[in-house]
Amino acid sequence: MKVAAVAVALCAGAGVAWNLWPRPERRITDQELLREAVTEWKLAGEPGIGPNVQIFEQQAAQGYYDDAWATAHLFKRTDDEQWSVVELAKIRAENGDVTGAKNMMKRFAGSDLGASATEVIAAIQARNGDLQGALETSTPLGDPDKALLVFGRRQIANGDFDGALKTAEQMKPNSAGQLFYEVGDALRARSEQKRVRELASHMSDPKMAALFRKLVRFTLWYTGEVRTLQGHPTPCDNAIFRATEGKFAEADKLIEQNKCSNVSFVAAQQYAVDPVGAEHLLRGNADPQDLNRGLAEFAVAAANKGDIAEALRFLDNVQSLRGPGNACPVVHEIARAWTIRDGPKAVLQWAHSRPNTDERTWALIGTAEALGHTRPQK
């Protein structure tokens, strides 16, 4: 009996200890937050054209292709849904999953939509240096020139002009001409116009070499009259120039003396080095619309510096002003920066408290973006 009593006591104590022992909180995932953003849109019952495109792009960028596909089907307009098909293939290929992107497009084989997506995938392969893969992908299209043009541009950007001209020789003359013009642009930028004859001599097709020499001269040199600003810059122009040079005291004085209208540009430049002076300049001289714009820029800058309290203060100011709303991009940046700094718990409480569907959605997207550490491609 004593042994049994001791065993019961030990079990009871263990049970109490288990209940008191702090359990780790379940990890919130970016995928869940993006799904919640879609649900937020559905629950709002707003007519619109469909959920926020940024949700779809973020799902695709972070590799949640099935979720992105489901979101795409919620778009109301046929044009938007068709755009999303090509965009999903593009982002998937940019993420390195070319095979997955091509497999996804098989259901659209033979259609204009399938051809557009295939062209995009081939272009991404060429841009990444996989010319053979790009040509294989574009075979069903019957025209490799677009992939070759992208690959040639990559060679020009890398300074491989001989390689770009060899690529051009594989193209039809009309398509090759565009590459010849761009070689001329690059040679002019490098002040290497004298290399044209040498480069042409390395080409294997005499007709294409002659075409190169003929067309390249149109972009080797600037032609036509160079246009300059007429008259003298205004004091407000000078304020902008001073700001770009970091001479903010001079810029501020010019703005205050001449009642310049585009105050937010100078204030945003100044905020990085002199937040107090920038805010004083903006609040004292900007009209309501420019004040709204400037405060939104301050909020984003503060968030990216990790000063969330300051960012929230500016956001409150933006929301209190009438006129064009800049709140949603600010909410997005604050949620992203705040999550990176402190994790999602407090940010989600704030996100759920936002006053409307758009702001709640953008806050969820920003939090998910921070958790996934991926920005969608532009």
Q: Who wins on pLDDT, 34 or 22?
A: 34
pLDDT surpassing 50 at residue 19: no
Segment 326-339, tens digit of pLDDT: 799 999 999 999 99
- The model's pLDDT over 72-98, given as tens digits with 9 standing for 90+, comes to 999 988 999 999 999 999 999 999 999
For residues 224-229, average pLDDT: 40
Judged against a pLDDT cut of 80, whether residue 232 lies above it is answered with no
| pLDDT exceeds 70 at position 230 | no
Whether residue 324 has pLDDT greater than 60: no
pLDDT digits (tens, 9 = 90+) for 141-159: 999 999 999 999 999 999 9
End-to-end CA gap in the chain? 74
Tell me the per-residue pLDDT of 204-218, one tens digit each, with 9 for 90 and over: 999 999 999 999 999
Report the chain's C-alpha Rg in angstroms: 29
Average the pLDDT over 6-10 and give the result: 46
Q: Which residues of 33-62 are buried (b: 16+ CB within 10 A; e: fewer)?
A: bbbbbbebbeeeeeeeebbbbbbbbbbbbb
Nearest Cα to 377, choosing from 35, 78, 37, 59? 59
- 372/187: higher pLDDT: 187
Q: Which two tokens stand for residue 300?
A: 């984003």
pLDDT at 202 exceeding the cut of 70: yes
pTM: 0.77
**What percent of the chain clears pLDDT 90, i.e. is strictly above it?**
76
- Return the DSSP state at 228: -
